[in-house]
Structure 1
Amino acid sequence: MVTARGTLVAGIALGWTLAAHAEPPSSTDRQARAWAASCAACHGTDGHTLGAEVPRLAGRDPEQIYRALIEFKNGQRPAATVMHQHAKGYADEELRRIAQTFSRTERKP
């Protein structure tokens, strides 16, 4: 026989279990951060480019980054590098998440 107290205890236990497995808000998109890490070879760690030839991504407007990625993906933006190939490897929503990741990175001088 299940009592009200037993149901309450089970509900609390389930709630704690679910909360323990939820990602904290500050790291809500670890997958996008992993995807964005592959950009470091050209765009620098966390989007902080060291050279002038490659655009700095850190702290930029996410829509601006996203539009550029979509244009590379669709062949609307010429690529002197491999950007068109990289962009084609991601779904549009994944590109949006990558853009959000770079936009949240503090821009260093």
Structure 2
Amino acid sequence: MIRAALVLALLAVPAAAQTAPGVAEGCVTCHGPRGAGSGSVPPLAGRDAADLATAMAAFRANERPATIMNRIVRGYTEAEVAAAVTYFSGLR
């Protein structure tokens, strides 16, 4: 009964509200819906939080090859990066 109520409640939420929160919204433009990956862009969903944080730090320091991530990540605060890492690592 509770499961049915939860499903109905989620269906009542507008589609825009079901998308990635905050800074993660920008990530899905390239990384696909819910960070599932898109073409040659790797998935973020379900990846280890420490691995994602390390990758973001490496992009920011220009220590990891990138076409655009090294520029994008510099536009985010540490708190925003942490929020995106938490969101994507929590997806299954």
Q: Specify if TM > 0.5.
A: yes
User: How many angstroms apart in 2 are the aligned matches of 1:38 and 1:93?
Assistant: 15
- Structure 2 unaligned spans of 5+: 1-19
Partner of 2:7: none
Contact 1:70/1:92 (CA < 8 Å) preserved in 2? no
User: How many angstroms apart in 2 are the aligned matches of 1:69 and 1:96?
Assistant: 10
Deviating more after overlay: 87-96 vs 36-45: 87-96
Task: Please give the secondary structure, in 2, of the residue aligned with 1:39.
Answer: helix
- Structure 1 unaligned spans of 5+: 1-31
C-alpha deviation, 1:69, in angstroms: 0.6
Partner of 2:37: 49
Greater than 3 Å deviation, 4+ residue runs? none
Percent identity reads 37
C-alpha deviation, 1:62, in angstroms: 0.7
User: How many angstroms apart in 2 are the aligned matches of 1:73 and 1:34?
Assistant: 19
Cα distance change, pair 89–67 in 1 and its aligned pair in 2 (3 A): same
Whether 1:94 aligns to 2:53 is: no
Whether 1:78 aligns to 2:83 is: no
Partner of 2:23: 35
User: How many angstroms apart in 1 are the aligned matches of 2:76 and 2:41?
Assistant: 20
CA RMSD after TM alignment: 1.4
Contact 1:37/1:45 (CA < 8 Å) preserved in 2? no
